[in-house]
């Protein structure tokens, strides 16, 4: 049996990390900590607004959730392409099988389990599951891969297991066990789900279109009425410390030309209609 109960020690440690990250220290202390972190993880500081860097950040969390400077990213020119919703490492793109299951690391697990909605999962049979891991160096805001309307948001409590390759080898169902935030979009090309998966060290996650923050131990499902229109590249949510994004699209898509597992950045081409047709 799968253990979905919270890991209280990991949860306590994670919440404490989040609390410390949001604490305000004297600017010289915060600046020194940020510069050490940036050097250790190889953060591209030229992506940050230079005026903001000069002024400094009030807390580590403010730095971690930083916005990009104007022009740091651009959306793929072809508007028919789905773009990467975030910076990170593209782990895989796999087809959702009949019964709304996927095979990862040689093991089968349920998309309905991950989404917390078996009916919604059925819409993605024949479509793709795309997994992107966010490294501590990455920009940690998550965006819409295409234009559409945000129809619902679901917050699912869960565990805070690490999301490393070694962890996935041990537990392929890891993403359906961890705490997650699910954004469901209706688009001209079918339903799209953008799933933010928390992990050890993720202080919390927030929605760009929701004022209050979901409680980490409370399951919330909200139908967004009226639906929120979002353009391709529009912001959906923020990781306060990082993790993984899992994207679901309906049948008829494939990886865009030249896209393969490896580093990817927000706004780069990710998916296209099969055969290159819009």
What are the structure tokens assigned to 169, written together? 């080898």
Long-range CB contacts (within 8 A, 24+) of 42-50:
42/137, 43/137, 44/137, 46/72, 47/72, 47/139
| DSSP 3-state of 178 | strand
Task: Report yes or no: 150 and 178 within 8 Å, Cβ to Cβ.
Answer: no
| DSSP 3-state of 35 | helix
What are the structure tokens assigned to 133, written together? 């891991």
Task: Report yes or no: 140 and 61 within 8 Å, Cβ to Cβ.
Answer: no
| DSSP 3-state of 127 | coil
Task: Return all residues near 239 (Cβ < 8 A) that are at least 6 apart.
Answer: 65, 134, 140, 141, 142, 196, 198, 202, 205
Cα 86 from chain centre = 7
**Rg over CA atoms, the chain:** 18
Task: Report yes or no: 70 and 48 within 8 Å, Cβ to Cβ.
Answer: no
Tell me the catalytic residues.
Answer: 87, 143, 243
| DSSP 3-state of 128 | strand
Alpha helix segments (H runs only) across the chain: 8-22, 27-41, 50-55, 60-64, 111-115, 118-122, 165-170, 174-177
């Amino acid at each position: 049996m799968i253990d979905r109960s919270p890991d209280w020690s990991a949860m306590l440690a994670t919440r404490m990390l989040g609390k410390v990250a949001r604490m305000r220290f004297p600017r010289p202390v915060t600046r020194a900590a940020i510069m050490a972190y940036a050097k250790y993880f190889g953060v591209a500081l030229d992506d940050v607004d230079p005026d903001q860097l000069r002024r400094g950040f009030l807390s580590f969390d403010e730095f971690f959730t930083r916005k990009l400077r104007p022009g740091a990213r651009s959306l793929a020119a072809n508007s028919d392409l789905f773009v990467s919703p975030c910076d990170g490492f593209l782990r895989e793109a796999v087809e959702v099988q009949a019964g709304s299951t996927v095979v990862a690391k040689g093991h089968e697990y349920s998309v309905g389990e991950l989404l917390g909605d078996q009916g919604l999962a059925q819409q993605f049979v024949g479509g793709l599951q795309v997994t992107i891991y966010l490294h501590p160096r990455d920009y940690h805001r998550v965006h819409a891969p295409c234009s559409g309307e945000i129809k619902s948001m679901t917050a699912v409590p869960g565990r805070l297991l690490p999301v490393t390759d070694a962890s996935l080898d041990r537990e392929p169902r890891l993403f359906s066990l961890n705490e997650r935030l699910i954004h469901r979009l209706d688009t001209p090309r079918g339903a799209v789900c953008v799933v933010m998966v928390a992990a050890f060290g993720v202080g919390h996650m927030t929605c760009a279109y929701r004022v209050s923050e979901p409680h980490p131990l409370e399951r919330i499902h909200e139908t967004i009425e009226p639906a929120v229109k979002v353009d391709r590249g529009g912001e959906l949510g923020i990781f306060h410390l990082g993790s993984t994004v899992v994207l679901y699209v309906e049948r008829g898509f494939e990886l865009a030309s030249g896209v393969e597992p490896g580093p990817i950045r927000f706004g780069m081409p990710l998916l296209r209609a099969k055969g290159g047709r819009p």
